[in-house]
Amino acid sequence: MKKLIFRILPAVILFVAAIAVLGGCEKSKLKLKGTTWKLDGIYDVDTKELKVLAPIECEDCYSFTFDTDSTAQGKSTTNKLGVYLTNPVGIGIETFIAEIGDGYIFNEATSKITHYNASNTELKFFL
């Protein structure tokens, strides 16, 4: 399974690929175009506990779909995000309204990302 990891203060957000086929990637450059990464939960490194964000049954909540190897469109519970893999990482959240479940937690975490590290199995985002 592919994972996307956010390091945010003492927390790490883990993403598992919902629809990610990264086989055959060159070692020198990761191919993200056409892949979708979905949030698995927020892992707190202090307590070593994983918090799964609600609503769990939402198929497209807390996900990013890459339209190029460096840009993606994302979704919280009700709002859309733009992701730009630059240094620093750019995250554009269109609105912060009408979130349900833990949507505000996701928006707050993604808005604090500054840089990233990518491999064939994980994307790590750091504060």
Identify the pLDDT of residue 103: 92
Per-residue pLDDT of 59-91, as tens digits, reads 999 998 999 999 999 999 999 988 888 877 777
Q: Is the pLDDT at 7 greater than 80, yes or no? A: no
4 or 21, greater pLDDT: 4
Distance of CA 126 to the CA centre of its chain: 11
Identify the pLDDT of residue 5: 54
Identify the pLDDT of residue 120: 76
Q: Where does the pLDDT of residue 107 fall: very low under 50, low under 70, confident under 90, or very high at 90 and above? A: confident
Could you list the residue range(s) of the whole structural domain that residue 55 is in? 3-126
Identify the pLDDT of residue 65: 93
Q: What is the mean pLDDT of the chain?
A: 76
Task: Give the chain's domain count.
Answer: 1
SS3 40: strand
What is the per-residue DSSP string for 62-108? TEEEESSSSEEEEE-SS-EEEEE-SSS-EEEES---S--TTHHHHHH
Per-residue pLDDT of 12-28, as tens digits, reads 444 443 333 333 343 44
